[in-house]
Amino acid sequence: MTGTIVNVIAIIAGTILGLIIKGRFDEKLQEITTQATGLAVIFVGLSGALQRMLNEPCNSVLFVISLVIGGLVGTLINIEGKMKSIGDWIESRCKGGEGSVSKSFVAASILYCTGTMAIIGSIDSGIYGNYTILFTKSVLDGVYAIIFASTMGYGVIFSAISVLIYQGAITILAGFVEPYLTGDIMREISVVGGILITALGIDMLGMRKLNVANLLPAVVVPVIYYGVYYIIN
């Protein structure tokens, strides 16, 4: 759990620093910073997805099926609404709420938990005691926390709870999960995760409202698909 704890601390520290900077930004500076952050998130998502698709043979249909099925499941159980409710609940119990806790909590949680580094890093941490990936992720997440908090407010700090639960669970269960995470599965998870991060950036820029949280189950579809495929074959 050491890597995940460091990751959580980095997010909290980054958020605090971002909130200090936020007070020095006027409306125009906040707007351009938000736009820059949105563009950066889109680039991170696209580069992550395309790197896997171009460097390894990819199932060109599976990621589409994953997004469709994942979106349907996510909408039926209303993940977006539930995460927003958590954010609203947190905001209602915090003095000086600024009306953006839900948005910043959901956006930061998706960004921090969707990427491949969260999964691979947690597995390496749980099985081999290797924290290199999670330490690297901590630096990146800390930087994003500064930027997110400076533009979206203090809701970002609560995404540290999402990271603690998500990565902590993978770390604890790593011994059971690792044998089943083949190269094919990780490749498809990376592609789907990259697309979800890209969608998050589009939503942040206000280009189109996308219920990204409802698409999160798409990451699980490749696991189920290849699980069935390996059993049959």
CA distance 182 to 172: 19
So what's the pLDDT on residue 66? 93
So what's the pLDDT on residue 95? 56
Buried b (16+ CB within 10 A) or exposed e, 185-194: bbbbbbbbbb
So what's the pLDDT on residue 47? 82
Query: How far is residue 168 from each of residues 6, 102, 142, 219, measured CA to CA in Å?
Result: 12, 23, 18, 18
So what's the pLDDT on residue 12? 95
| C-beta of residue 24 within 8 angstroms of C-beta of residue 143 | no
So what's the pLDDT on residue 143? 86
CA angle 110, 141, 139 (to 5 degrees): 160
| C-beta of residue 127 within 8 angstroms of C-beta of residue 178 | yes
So what's the pLDDT on residue 98? 53
So what's the pLDDT on residue 6? 94
So what's the pLDDT on residue 150? 84
| C-beta of residue 169 within 8 angstroms of C-beta of residue 119 | no
pTM (predicted TM-score): 0.75
pLDDT along the chain (233 residues), means of 10: 92 91 72 80 81 73 91 91 80 62 83 79 82 87 86 86 90 78 80 85 80 87 87 81
